[in-house]
Amino acid sequence: MSRHLADLLAREPAGFGIGQVPAARVPSATTRLVCGFCSTGCGLDVHLKDGRAVGLTPSASHVVNRGSACPKGWEALTPLAAPDRATTPLLRNARGKLVPVGWSEALEVFTTRFKASQAAHGAESAAFLSTGQIPTEEMALLGALAKFGMGMRHGDGNTRQCMASAVVAYKEAFGFDAPPYTYGDFEQSDVIVLVGSNLCVAHPIMWERITRNPNDPEIVVIDPRRTETAEAATLHLAPRPKSDLSLLYGVARNLIERGAVDRDFVHDHTSGFREFAEFVGAFTPERVSADTGLAAGQVDRLAALIADGTAVSFWWTMGVNQSHQGVRTAQALIDLALMTGNIGRPGTGANSITGQCNAMGSRLFSNTTSLLGGHDFADEGHRGKVAGILGIDATLIPDGPSLAYDRIIEGISTGQIRSLWVVATNGAHSWINHSDMKELLGRLDFLVVQDMYGTTETAQLADLVLPAAGWGEKDGTFINSERRLGLVQRVSPAPGQALADFFIFKAVADAWGCGHLFERWSDPEAVFEILQELSAGQPCDITGVGGYEHVATGAVQWPYATGAAGAEPTGRVPAERRLFADGRFFTPDQRARFLFEAPVAPGERPGGAYPLALLTGRGSASQWHTETRTSKSATLRALAPEGLWVDIHPADAAARHLAAGDEVVVQTRRGAVRARAQVTTGVGEGNVYLPMHHPQVNALTFPAFDPLSRQPSYKHCAAQVRAAEASDP
Ligand code: SF4
């Protein structure tokens, strides 16, 4: 056992997990945590008895949620008490069973087998897959340990599955991954355009912010489905799946013809408009109607609303990002905001809504695609700066980015990747076209899964499971969709031998023999100070933040630089701030770029034996991703539909002699799943819809990827639906 781990275990109060709450921050009777599910970042007041959580209520005074929470937030503590928590390390024995072992043995096996695989196949044959669900400090330590201490070059996050297209879109257009908005913009717009976003269900508290808008805004929803959000919109456009890029270019052409271009803004603050205007000239009403299935009048109405609006905001989420042209579609929305001058002012913006609670922390500090602090691995100066701050040799830092998630999976199939460390993600359920995942992961020399539960589909395939503390059992910070920092704290004991991920990484570093590189990384708050140093001079500069106590106020959005106007933690800084009010962007010439590309058809189109388009997405507000946590709550289970339902249009149901409630099989070229038919006009004729939470759904999806972001295109493939037969599995 390492000295560090022995010390931690020795000072462990009975049942209260490693990572003792520092005495200065022992929670009082009520303490505030930012929610650990989605990226909204709601404040939750956790109520304590004898220092332990006994319940929670949404924070009435928190700037984000103002006393509201969705069902997941209300039930945030319940998954901690689930009976299938991993309470000891689990090691697969000679008979193929996962059996409990102590931490000393687990760490010895971890280091011995990873090192043996690296010795045989090269240090870069080891990789990690991480998450947007753990605090920034933990992500940063994992990324630094794996790449600077263990010799890995490749490690990615599950944020690749939800946000990568927005990241690339922003980097190329604005010069940095910088969502420009603040939630106050929901309340200050007079035209709100939501694209591929079912906000009512996926981000209910953001939707609530829209309901507080006093301007009686026009709400436009662009979505092939008539979602709950579309039902509440003043205008719903339902284009053919994956034709939204053509639609947005047609809207741009229409705006130019109307003379609705903010010429001064375009001239002073952008580049590339002339080429963009020439390009969209080809998107005539006839062409756009043919591509999208929308009437020319519908496109004209949307353009008129944008042209007449005084504060127009454009919002998007997974319907855009999870696309074979997600980057360009996001950039088309950025183009619309730029050409109409709808950015940097209250109620405006080209605004990507993030998915996971700490996706933004991952984007900036996980050391995966970006070097710590939004730096560039390929930039020698950046490597030198980071090495200097960390006190390490710059040659330890890889000189290029990691393989993306899909390339890591592909690398397993080719033998390039031979050992894998999976942290708080469940790819055997969530990865696109995962039907061969079990076989692929079985090829690895060594698979480690670090998770709250040993029962996830991925953990069940592991050679070694490391038991991790969950939200509420450890300390750290998250960054939400609007760039706001939030604090999570330990208010509940981790079960058994489960440890905060942070202290697992520390123990691994000691066992590996590189603990000396991380002596300064003593606890999460010490790491937060390191992250502040790493952010210095970057667009995400947080050097002016006054530590965890300041973060806990909920009043910190990046940038928050030392010495910046109003940057002292005095309460005088506005609680909501947006970027680009001065019209200066993060590109070298400080101009935002118009970016565009010809639309191309999806890789797999309906036809022949598979005549329907299968769409996937969120099922209900009480479900979260692979349901690793939400399935543990009886309340959340009761709020979600029981079993798997497929939405099918009445005409498609009639053609197959199907009635509502019939048991059917949804089949694609890759697999099939049983479901019950929900006959509804909520999907268009020719489309069917499955919620993503069932473990078999992603055995069906088609593995297409955006070529720029490598984000999977979950939301479109060819399918057939038929009545189920007794012989169907
Ligand atoms: Fe948590 Fe998101 Fe629900 Fe807010 S909206 S309570 S952050 S899951």
Mean pLDDT of the chain: 93
pLDDT greater than 80 at residue 574: no
Tell me how far apart the alpha carbons of residues 265 and 180 are, in angstroms, rounded to a whole number.
16
Provide the sign of the torsion angle of the four alpha carbons 65, 71, 77, 80, taken in this order. negative
Point out the ligand 1 atom lying closest to the alpha carbon of residue 205. Answer: 5
Ligand 1 proximity of 559 Cβ (cutoff 6 Å):
no
pLDDT at position 11: 41
Query: For the domain with range 164-352, which CATH number is right: 3.40.50.2000, 3.30.200.20, 3.40.228.10, 3.40.50.300?
Result: 3.40.228.10
Element (H, E) at 728: none
Ligand 1 pocket, residue 37 CB under 6 Å = yes
Ligand 1 site-directed mutation target among 44, 64, 65, 624, most atoms within 8 Å of CB: 65
Regarding the beta carbon of 36 and ligand 1, being less than 6 Å apart is answered no
Let me know the angle formed at the C-alpha of 160 by 129 and 412, rounded to the nearest 5 degrees: 45
CA of 212 to the centre of ligand 1 (A): 17
Which DSSP state fits 128? E
Residue 409: pLDDT over 90: yes
Does the beta carbon of 204 sit less than 6 angstroms from any atom of ligand 1? yes
Please state, in angstroms and as integers, the Cα–Cα distance from residue 573 to each residue in 42, 553, 635, following that order. Answer: 20, 12, 39
* Ligand 1 close to Cβ of residue 56 (< 6 A): no
Distance 402 CA to ligand 1 centre (A): 31
Say yes or no: CB of residue 333 within 6 Å of ligand 1: no
pLDDT attached to residue 210: 96
Q: Give the residue, out of 44, 57, 65, 72, with the most ligand 1 atoms within 8 A of its beta carbon, to mutate for a pocket test.
A: 72
State the closest ligand 1 atom to the C-alpha of 58, by its place in the atom list counted from 1.
6
Q: Whose CA is nearest to atom 4 of ligand 1?
A: 42
Nearest to 362 by CA among 158, 119, 90: 158
Ligand 1 centroid to Cα of residue 73, in Å, is 5
Calculate how far, in angstroms, residue 626's C-alpha sits from the geometric centre of ligand 1.
16
pLDDT exceeds 80 at position 26: no
Cβ proximity of 210 and 261 under 8 Å: no
Q: Which ligand 1 atom is at minimum distance from the Cα of 76?
A: 1
| Pocket of ligand 1 contains residue 40 by CB under 6 Å | yes
Do 125 and 141 contact (CB within 8 A), yes or no? no
> Does residue 70's CB lie within 6 angstroms of at least one atom of ligand 1?
yes
Q: Does the beta carbon of 35 sit less than 6 angstroms from any atom of ligand 1?
A: yes
Q: What is the pLDDT of residues 576-592, one digit of tens each?
A: 789 999 999 999 999 99
305-320 burial code (b ≥16 CB/10 A, e <16):
bbbebebbbbbbbbbb
Distance CA 583, CA 597 (A): 25
7 falls in which pLDDT band (50, 70, 90)? low
The percentage of residues in the chain with a pLDDT greater than 70, rounded to a whole number, is 95
Confirm or reject: Cβ of 43 under 6 Å from ligand 1: no
Kindly give the number of the ligand 1 atom that is closest to the alpha carbon of 204: 5
Nearest to 550 by CA among 527, 532, 531, 568: 568
Residue 726 pLDDT class (50, 70, 90 cuts): confident
**Secondary structure class of 501 (helix, strand, coil):** helix
Closest approach atom of ligand 1 to CA 203: 5
From 38, 211, 478, give the residue whose CB has the most ligand 1 atoms within 8 Å, as the site to mutate.
Answer: 38
Nearest CA owner, ligand 1 atom 2:
38
Report which residue type is found at 443: R
pLDDT band (50, 70, 90) for residue 475:
very high
pLDDT digits (tens, 9 = 90+) for 497-533: 999 999 999 999 999 999 999 999 999 999 999 999 9
In testing the pocket of ligand 1, which one of 32, 33, 39, 40 has its CB within 8 Å of the most ligand atoms?
40
Q: The tokens of 126 are what?
A: 């080891």
- Helix crossing, 244-258 with 285-292: angle to 10°? 160
Q: Determine whether the shortest distance from the Cβ of 41 to ligand 1 is under 6 A.
A: yes
Q: What percent of the chain has pLDDT over 90?
A: 86
Q: How far is the CA of 161 from the centre of ligand 1 (A)?
A: 19
Q: Is 205 in the pocket of ligand 1 (CB under 6 A)?
A: yes
Atom from ligand 1 closest to the CA of residue 206: 5
Question: What mean pLDDT comes out for the span 87-108?
Answer: 97
Contacts of 289-292 with C-beta under 8 Å, sequence gap 24+, read 291/239, 291/240, 291/243, 291/246, 291/247, 291/599, 292/239, 292/240, 292/243, 292/244, 292/246, 292/247, 292/250
Q: How far is CA 587 from CA 80, 106, 584, in A?
A: 44, 47, 9
Positions of CATH 3.40.50.740 in the chain:
90-158+358-476+500-522
pLDDT in tens, 334-389: 999 999 999 999 999 999 998 899 999 999 999 998 999 999 999 999 999 999 99
Q: Which residues pair with 714 in a beta bridge?
A: none
Query: Does the C-beta of 471 come closer than 6 Å to ligand 1?
Result: no
Residue that wins the pLDDT comparison between 626 and 329: 329
Residue 675 and residue 696 in contact, taking contact as beta carbons nearer than 8 Å = no
More confident site: 29 or 656: 656
Any atom of ligand 1 within 6 Å of the Cβ of 176? no
**How close is the Cα of 72 to the center of ligand 1, in Å?**
6
Of ligand 1's listed atoms, the one at least distance from the Cα of 40 is 7
Q: Which residue(s) pair with 351 in the sheet?
A: 315
More confident residue, 449 or 568: 449
> Are 520 and 506 contacting, i.e. CB atoms less than 8 angstroms apart?
no
Ligand 1 pocket, mutate which of 39, 62, 70 (most atoms under 8 A from CB): 70
Residues of the chain with CATH 3.40.228.10: 164-352
Residue 227 alpha carbon to ligand 1 centre in Å: 19
Residue 22 carries which DSSP code?
P
* Closest ligand 1 atom number to CA of residue 64: 4
Give me the helix-helix angle, 296-308 and 285-292, nearest 10°.
110
Token pair for 619:
């099922």
Ligand 1 centroid from CA 134, angstroms: 15
CA distance 162 to 243: 19
Largest Cα separation within the chain, whole Å, is 73
**Is residue 355 lining ligand 1, measured as CB closer than 6 Å?**
no
pLDDT tens digits for 637-656?
999 999 999 999 999 999 99
Q: Is 64 in the pocket of ligand 1 (CB under 6 A)?
A: no
In degrees, rounded to 5, the angle at the alpha carbon of residue 377 between the alpha carbons of residues 376 and 380 is 90
Helix (H, G, I), strand (E, B) or coil at 403: coil
Sheet of strand 126-130, all strands in order from the earlier edge strand to the far edge? 98-100, 90-92, 464-467, 446-451, 419-423, 126-130, 154-157
* pLDDT higher than threshold 70 for residue 706: yes
Stretch 677-683: mean pLDDT: 97
Q: Which comes out higher in pLDDT, residue 517 or 621?
A: 517
C-alpha of residue 71 to centroid of ligand 1, in Å: 8
Helix (H) / strand (E) element for 218: namely: strand 218-222
pLDDT tops 90 at residue 570: no
Distance 203 CA to ligand 1 centre (A): 7
Inform me whether the pLDDT recorded for 546 exceeds 70. Answer: yes
Closest Cα to atom 6 of ligand 1: 73
Q: 73 CB less than 6 Å from ligand 1? A: yes
**Domain spanning 90-158+358-476+500-522: which CATH class is it, in words?**
alpha beta
Distances (CA, A) of 461 to 116, 559, 593, 629: 20, 41, 45, 19
The pLDDT value recorded for residue 235 is 97
Which atom of ligand 1 is found nearest the CA of 38? 2
At residue 135, the pLDDT reads: 97
Model confidence pLDDT, tens digit, residues 133-174: 999 999 999 999 999 999 999 999 888 998 999 999 999 999
CATH architecture assignment, domain 612-723 = Beta Barrel (2.40)
Contact 51, 27 (CB under 8 A): yes
72 CB near ligand 1 (under 6 Å): yes
Average pLDDT over residues 304-329: 97
Ligand 1 pocket check for 38: Cβ under 6 Å: yes
Please say whether the dihedral angle defined by the alpha carbons of residues 113, 115, 116 and 120, taken in this order, is positive or negative. positive
Looking from the CA of residue 65, the nearest atom of ligand 1 is 4
Other CB atoms within a 10 A radius of the CB of residue 605 amount to 15
pTM for this predicted structure: 0.94
In the chain, which segments carry CATH 2.40.40.20? 612-723
Residue 5 binned pLDDT confidence (cut-offs 50, 70, 90)? low
